[in-house]
Amino acid sequence: MKTITLFEGDGIGPEITQATLDVIQALQLPLQFEKYDIGQTAYEKCGELIPTVSIDSIKKNKVALKAPVTTPVGKGFRSVNVQLRIIFDLYANVRPAKLLPNVKSRYENIDLIVFRENTEDLYIGEETVISADEVHAIKKITRKGSERIIRSAFEYAVNNNRKKVTCVHKANILKKSDGLFLDIFNTIKEEYPQIEANDVIVDNACMQLVMRPEQFDIMVMPNLYGDILSDLTSGLIGGLGLLPSAQMNDEYAIFEAVHGSAPDIAGKGIANPTALLLSACMMLDYLGYQQEANKVRNAIIKTLANLEDCTPDLGGKSSTTHYTQKIISNL
């Protein structure tokens, strides 16, 4: 029996977590969940955003499933996601964007994956106030950080029959920092001659994603560009409500929906659990249950064929519970 740490989050988090658990439990796999609090819920209970017991659970179980959490508003509160990345050195943020049938989009045949370096770049949060009129921020790019995310992208390509890896950068302007990232990419790509490799400047990448997104397969990039472009890719497939995600390294993996906690619709029973469900499918893949993960994916696709069974954001009028039960019946 494999134990997984579970964070149901807040806002719509508990609703989409229950939906996801209902689907996973219908698979009757030897999995069990330990539920702990993080974020605003934890802070209200014990005065900590990430209690020690929650950290200890991840250390013990190595795998976690996480719904959206709210970081309390106000200065001095560091993002829960950023804290988890630092605590566990979760250097790879993997976000697959695949267009599902019957989802409204301007595009067809979208199937790409963003590999985002997750621990450095501007997200180290080192800023210096020079004066009331000037602030400097540090952009940190290291050889270690660059090598491991780039190698992860190529290894994923090899192991999952993907054909191409694209490096996204701004080395034409940031010649030292992004230049280092690009140089490392150009060195590592020589180890994978069977994988097509190219690079594109980040602003051009944004334009190309809008004009011809089908040209991309796997995209690897520093932290800031990964944050921005992965949201862009979610727009190609219908929004963040359909985008799964994993934060991981060689020892730990946290699977999560990247959208917000949507407090404006919390408790109304209309939240879309698809992103968390697809994140759970990534978790099942990771745990060796690829066949079961694909059963869930196929059940989601079958459910989407009838919009009447879908939540309002997908063009339907059904509740979270009805949508979930349809997915289970389609298993």
By the 10 Å C-beta count (0-12 exposed, 13-18 middle, 19+ buried), 258 is classed as buried
Is 194 found in the same domain as 73?
A: no
Q: Are residues 230 and 126 in the same domain?
A: yes
* Res 75: pLDDT: 53
The residue among 211, 236, 261 that closes a domain is: 236
Average pLDDT taken over every residue of the chain:
93
| Alpha helices for the chain (secondary structure H) | 13-26, 40-46, 52-61, 80-88, 143-159, 177-188, 202-211, 223-236, 274-286, 290-304, 320-329
Domain that holds residue 23: 1-91+243-331
Taking a C-beta distance cutoff of 8 angstroms, is the pair 303, 289 a contact? no
Question: 74 and 151: one domain?
Answer: no
Measured in residues, the chain has a length of: 331
Residue with tokens 């869930």: 296
Tell me: do 225 and 247 sit in the same domain: no
Tell me, yes or no, whether 128 and 36 share the same domain.
no
My answer on whether 111 and 225 are in the same domain is: yes
Shared domain check, 213 and 115: yes
Question: Facing residues of 200 across strands?
Answer: 168
Cα first-last separation, the chain:
22
Domain-embedded: residue 98: no
Contact of 43 with 49, CB cutoff 8 Å: yes
| Assigned domain for 50 exists | yes
Query: pLDDT digit string (tens) for 202-252?
Result: 999 999 999 999 999 999 999 999 999 999 999 999 988 899 999 999 999
Domain shared by 47 and 62, yes or no: yes
What percent of the chain stands above pLDDT 70? 98
User: Which residue, 236, 251, 269, sits at the end of a domain?
Assistant: 236
Residues 281 and 205 in one domain: no
The answer to the question of residue 100 being in a domain is no
pLDDT of residue 189: 98
And the tokens for 215? 């040209």
Given 203, 220, 236, which residue is the final one in a domain?
Answer: 236
When pLDDT is cut at 50, 70 and 90, the band that residue 46 belongs to is: confident
Average pLDDT of span 20-26: 97
Residue type for 46, please?
A: C
Say how far apart CA 84 and CA 203 lie, in whole Å.
29
Give the CA distances from residue 232 to residues 114, 132, 136, 190, in Å, rounded to whole numbers and listed in that order: 11, 34, 27, 29
What local confidence, expressed as pLDDT, does residue 18 receive? 96
CATH label of the domain that carries residue 230:
3.40.718.10
Identity at 144, one-letter amino acid code = K
Let me know if residue 101 belongs to a domain: no
Are 112 and 223 contained in the same domain? yes
Query: Looking at the structure, do residues 219 and 266 belong to the same domain, yes or no?
Result: no
Pairing mode, if any, of strands 92-98 and 111-117? Answer: antiparallel
In a domain, 56, yes or no: yes
Which residues does 300 contact at the CB level (< 8 Å), separation at least 6?
100, 274, 277, 278, 327, 330
What is the residue whose two structure tokens read 């250097």?
91
Is residue 14 domain-shared with residue 117, that is, in the same domain? no
Domain count, the chain: 2
